[in-house]
Structure 1
Amino acid sequence: MTAGESFVVDTSVAIKWIVDEEGSDKAELLQGADMVAPALFRIEAGNVLRTLAAKQIPPDERAIDLFLFLQTAPVTIIDADELLERRALELALEIDHPIYDCVYLALAERMDRQLVTADRRFLNILSKTPYAQRVIDLSHLGGHPTT
């Protein structure tokens, strides 16, 4: 990615910055881009870390350190207002998908940016909708899909 590119990023991307897993190399390509996310972003990341810590990936004490590190990530947090929340619900009802993910899509729409995600389920659902052009599969960043 080059400086000046702008994206909405979701938690599936952020976790790859702090936990070494498939796609972490692709997530690093976003460094230098202008990234935004809804306020829900950090709460969701904390929940993912809690789930991983229950499996000892990472251990509990490391999960807190990773969460604190993530709070300093270069992502501008955008508070959701009533219109964004309403649009997220409209999208959730339209595509029959959880509103949590649709908040990111609604923010991408509002800001006229693309949403970068590694969430396979969300990508599969969006691929069958008019919103497919609004989303980028993290595995395709850099031109070569991760297998």
Structure 2
Amino acid sequence: MLIVDTSVAARWVIGSDDPVLSDEVSIALTLLPRRLVAPDLLMAEFANVMWKKVRAQEIGPAQAREAVAVLPDIVELIPTAGLADRAMDISLQLDHPAYDCFFLAAAQMLETIVISADRKLVRRCADTAFSGLIAGLTDRPSWQA
């Protein structure tokens, strides 16, 4: 079981000619057969990403709706309410936005790790008590077991 954040979920529906982003998309797709979990906050964040992609004319409205509709079939969602206190503590300790910390709180609660394509979040956790809770999407050896 792995926690995935919105940056990873977004990779499932985007394509790119950029070689780095294309590699991230390919790696993100390898996660799909695994048991994936996320705070239900993922739905709001993911819908917002899809809205931005429609506005940028990168995808059509139908593709955005479809992506949002199937996400709960791919990722098991857990309630954010039970994570709020821990997410707030992590946010204060990292001095980082709380919404990202819900994913870390879920990883801590479920004794697993977050896979993230958000390099800023991964760097923020480095050399902290939370470094063991997160791995970058492209850091495959650390989470691929």
Matched residue, 2:140: 141
Determine the C-alpha separation between the residues in 2 that align with 1:32 and 1:62: 22
User: Aligned AA for 2:9?
Assistant: A
User: Aligned AA for 1:78?
Assistant: I
Matched residue, 1:86: 85
Determine the C-alpha separation between the residues in 1 that align with 2:35 and 2:62: 30
1:1-147 matched pairs, under 5 angstroms: 6-21=1-16, 22=21, 23-73=24-74, 75-82=75-82, 84-141=83-140
Determine the C-alpha separation between the residues in 1 that align with 2:59 and 2:65: 9
SS in 1 for 2:73: coil
SS in 2 for 1:116: strand
Deviation, structure 1 residue 136: 1.1
Gaps of 5+ in 1: 1-5
Deviation, structure 1 residue 69: 3.0
Gaps of 5+ in 2: none
Determine the C-alpha separation between the residues in 1 that align with 2:141 and 2:30: 7
Deviation, structure 1 residue 28: 1.2
SS in 2 for 1:14: helix
SS in 1 for 2:138: helix
CA RMSD of aligned residues (A): 1.6
Determine the C-alpha separation between the residues in 1 that align with 2:96 and 2:33: 31
Identity %: 29
Task: Provide the TM-score with structure 1 as the length reference.
Answer: 0.85
Determine the C-alpha separation between the residues in 2 that align with 1:103 and 1:13: 15
User: Aligned AA for 1:27?
Assistant: A
Determine the C-alpha separation between the residues in 2 that align with 1:53 and 1:71: 20
Determine the C-alpha separation between the residues in 1 that align with 2:136 and 2:109: 19
**Matched residues, number:** 136
Deviation, structure 1 residue 71: 3.6
